[in-house]
Amino acid sequence: MTKKFDPATAIQNLKQFGEFGDVNPSITDSATYTFMSENTMIEAFHGEAQGCFLYSRHWNPSNKYLADALAAMEGTESAWVTASGMAAITTAILQLCNSGDHIVTSVTTYGGTFAFLKNYLQKFNIGVTFVNITDHESVKKAIQPNTKLLYTESMTNPMLQISDLPELSKITRSKGIQLVVDNTFTPMIISPFNLGADIVVYSMTKFINGKNDCVAGAICASNDFINAISDVNSGTAMLLGPVLDPLRSSSILKNLGTLHIRMQKHSDNAAYMAEKFEEIGLKYIYPGNPDHPQYELFTMIMNEDFGYGGMIAIDVETAERAAPFMELMQEKGVGYHAVSLGYFKTLFSNSGKSTSSEVPEDIQKEMGLSPGLIRFSVGLDHDIENSFELIKSCLKELKYI
Q: What's the pLDDT score for residue 1?
A: 37
Distance, in Å, from the CA atom of 238 to the CA atom of 226, rounded to the nearest integer, reads 11
Distance, in Å, from the CA atom of 195 to the CA atom of 187, rounded to the nearest integer, reads 14
Looking at residue 3, the DSSP 8-state letter turns out to be P
- Is the model's pLDDT at 220 over the cut of 90? yes
First to last CA, the chain: 45
Q: What is the DSSP string of 280-347?
A: TT--EE-TTSTTSTTHHHHHHHSPTTSTT-SEEEEE-SSHHHHHHHHHHHHHHTS-EE-S----SS-E
Distance, in Å, from the CA atom of 287 to the CA atom of 93, rounded to the nearest integer, reads 28
Pair 285, 160: CB distance under 8 Å:
yes
Distance, in Å, from the CA atom of 25 to the CA atom of 61, rounded to the nearest integer, reads 9
- Tell me the percentage of the chain whose pLDDT exceeds 90: 86
pLDDT by residue (tens digit) across 296-328? 999 999 999 999 999 999 999 999 999 999 999
Give residue 2's pLDDT band: very low, low, confident or very high (50, 70, 90).
very low
What residues does 349 pair with on adjacent strands? 375
Q: pTM higher than 0.85, yes or no?
A: yes
- Read off φ and ψ for residue 232, nearest 5 degrees: -70, -20
Q: Which domains are assigned to the chain?
A: 7-256 (3.40.640.10), 260-397 (3.90.1150.10)
pLDDT by residue (tens digit) across 264-275? 999 999 999 999
Q: What's the pLDDT score for residue 353?
A: 85
Distance, in Å, from the CA atom of 18 to the CA atom of 368, rounded to the nearest integer, reads 50
pLDDT by residue (tens digit) across 17-54? 888 888 999 899 999 999 989 998 888 887 777 778 88
Distance, in Å, from the CA atom of 108 to the CA atom of 313, rounded to the nearest integer, reads 14
